[in-house]
Amino acid sequence: MLSIRSRTGAWTRRIRSGLHDAFAETHTPREIAGSFSFGVFVTMLPTLGVGLLVFALLAWLVDGASKLAFLASALLINPLVKSGVYAVSFAIGVLLLGPVEGVSIGLTGLPSLSFAASREIAIRLLVGNVILSVATIVPSYVVCYRLVEAYRAREIEIVEEIESVVAPEDEPA
C-alpha cells in the first residue's frame, strides 16, 4: 500500500510534468490560436459542461490541438462571464426574432415568466448564442496569434540576452 507521502509526491511530479509540457509546447502560433478560438467558440455555446469533454477528446485525437489554449479559453469564458454572454445572446435573439409573449418585467424589475414561453426563450437564447459564438472566432484567433508571436519574440530576446551575459561573444565558451 502506498503511503500518503508517496502518493502526494507522485501527484506533484505529474502536475509538475504536465505544467512543464504545457509551457514547453511545440505548437505553432497558428495551432495555438486555432485551438484558442475554437475553445472560445465552444465555451460560449450553452453546452452545460460538455465543452470540456470536447476539449479532452480533441486534445487526444488531434496532434495540432493545444491543451493549454483550450484551458485558457475555458478560463476566459468562466461562469461569471458566461452569464453576460447569455444576457447578450438573449438580447440578440430578441432583436432578430422579436420579443417573447408572456415575458414581462414586474414591479421588482425581475422578469415574470410563464412556462409556455420557455421554448421561445430557449430559441432566442440559442440563436443569439450561436451568432455571438461565431462572431468571436476571428477576433479571438487574431488576438491569440499576435500574443503568441509577441511572447515568443520576447522570449527569444530574453534567451539571447542571457546567453550574451553567460557566454560573451568575445570570450570562448
Run of H or E residues at 87:
helix 79-97
So what's the pLDDT on residue 16?
Answer: 52
Confidence of residue 55 (pLDDT cuts 50, 70, 90): confident
What value does the mean pLDDT take over residues 128-149?
A: 92
So what's the pLDDT on residue 99?
Answer: 85
Confidence of residue 163 (pLDDT cuts 50, 70, 90): low
pLDDT at 161 over 80: no
So what's the pLDDT on residue 20?
Answer: 47
In a domain, 173, yes or no: no
What value does the mean pLDDT take over residues 130-142?
A: 94
Number of domains forming the structure of the chain = 1
In a domain, 110, yes or no: yes
pLDDT at 104 over 50: yes
Cβ neighbour number for residue 70 with a 10 Å cutoff? 24
What value does the mean pLDDT take over residues 48-64?
A: 85
In a domain, 103, yes or no: yes
Average pLDDT, the chain: 78
Check residue 158 and give left, alpha or beta (phi > 0: left; psi -120 to 50: alpha).
alpha
Domain that holds residue 119: 27-143
The predicted model scores a pTM of 0.69
So what's the pLDDT on residue 138?
Answer: 96
In a domain, 43, yes or no: yes
So what's the pLDDT on residue 113?
Answer: 62
What value does the mean pLDDT take over residues 8-28?
A: 60
In a domain, 3, yes or no: no
Q: ∠ CA(75), CA(133), CA(68), 5° rounding?
A: 30
Q: Which of 77-81, 113-117, 166-170 has the lowest mean pLDDT?
A: 166-170
In a domain, 109, yes or no: yes
In a domain, 127, yes or no: yes
So what's the pLDDT on residue 1?
Answer: 58
Segments in 24-78 forming alpha helices (H): 29-44, 50-61, 67-76
Q: Which of 34-43, 80-89, 134-143, 150-159 has the lowest mean pLDDT?
A: 150-159
